[in-house]
Amino acid sequence: MKNYNKILIIILSILIIMALTSCSQEKRSNNQLNIDKKALLTQLNLGEQTEIIESKAVDVTGDGNKDNVILLGAKSDDSKSSFRDNLLIIVQESKSKKYLKATYNNFSGYEPKLTIKELTGDKVADVMVSANSGGSIGIYHHLIASFKAGKAKVIFDANNNQGVKVSGQFIPNFKAKLNFIDLQKESLLDISINKENYIKQKIYDKKGNLIKRILIRPYANPFSKLETVDYDHDGQYELKGIQQIVGSSNSDEISKIESIWSYHNNKWILKEVSYDTFLLKYSIKQKSNPIATGYIKKIGEHNENNYILLVNKLDNTKNFEGIKLFINKDTKLLDEKTNTKIKFKDLKVGMKIKAHHSKIMTMSLPPQTKAIKIIVTNK
């Protein structure tokens, strides 16, 4: 009886191992390709910093056989960062094994993702990549490419990523006039929900009269979200995009645009556009400015402004990017030990600091905000 039980256990163990192996192989064949990274990079003449971000087995050339679709990108100096530079789509044809490439200049971003849908109406799947720019209010970069009949063609690039183009101006009584350039239409938008800030910024007086009429103008940012939707339920997917319209600054959101785009005759056609007005706007009220404590990870300059990247030592999250603090002439820099003022050039990578910063922070990766006071607590 004991021998029988042993044999039964061995048989069950073998069956379980076979089942797990089969599932693993099926998953790899459908989603995660078994790719020789070293051979791939050598063949494509790419650097060692390049890594395989994602890969799928899908027919994107239209010959009925699954092609290898591979998303590549170069790692940054920070091994923990999710930022990838030089993003590149590679398609290895199923029969010829030839490599097809698609990208555009300066295509990069955080946490890039691969989407494969039929977007052109030719019954052949297309390849889309989306990546967070890390810039203000969460703008995303996108690329869409077609590989039909073994020919790589970028059909959505940085220019398409601008979305619906909007210019505007502030007008009396806390209103903004918006010009939807693509539609050749104008519209008035009630922005009184933000009037307290506009009065503080001296754009309006308390009666709604304009004080400043120059330079500060509302405008639309590129896509903050772009997703594929089968809007007509005909098998061809469209693009649904979200953009923010901002007023006095990128932190001053006054409206959102929602748009639907369809690809016809080798170009993207704008099919539907809507925008909203805030009736109630959520905001976090704080009695004092927030404080961030951590180590200086990076010091640099962006758009002629000095900045430091602060990393919280208690946060060990894999993709944690820290906080980007911008420093100007009004930022106070102090040494806690000597209780004296210091200069920006005295800040060094590795210093532990306590930073008092603005309540306004972008939704980007990493989040960005203005530093009000920085205290060096440990050199």
Cβ neighbours of 221 (radius 10 Å)? 20
d(CA 270, CA 248): 28
- Tell me the pTM: 0.70
Cis bond upstream, residue 172 (ω within 30) = no
CA neighbor of 323 nearest in space, from 300, 345, 348, 355:
355
Contact 325, 374 (CB under 8 A): yes
What's the pLDDT tens digit per position in 218-252? 889 999 999 999 988 999 999 999 999 998 877 78
Instruction: Using the predicted structure, report yes or no on whether residue 266 has a pLDDT greater than 90.
Output: yes
Instruction: Using the predicted structure, report yes or no on whether residue 261 has a pLDDT greater than 80.
Output: yes
Domains and CATH numbers, the chain: 37-158 (no CATH), 163-275 (no CATH), 291-378 (2.40.50)
Q: Got the DSSP string for 72-103?
A: EEEE-SSTT--EEEEEEEEEE-TTT--EEEE-
Average pLDDT, the chain: 84
Q: Among 145-149, 218-222, 287-291, which stretch is predicted with the lowest mean pLDDT?
A: 287-291
Structure tokens at 14: 């073998």
Contact 231, 262 (CB under 8 A): yes
User: How many angstroms from the chain centroid is the CA of residue 127?
Assistant: 17
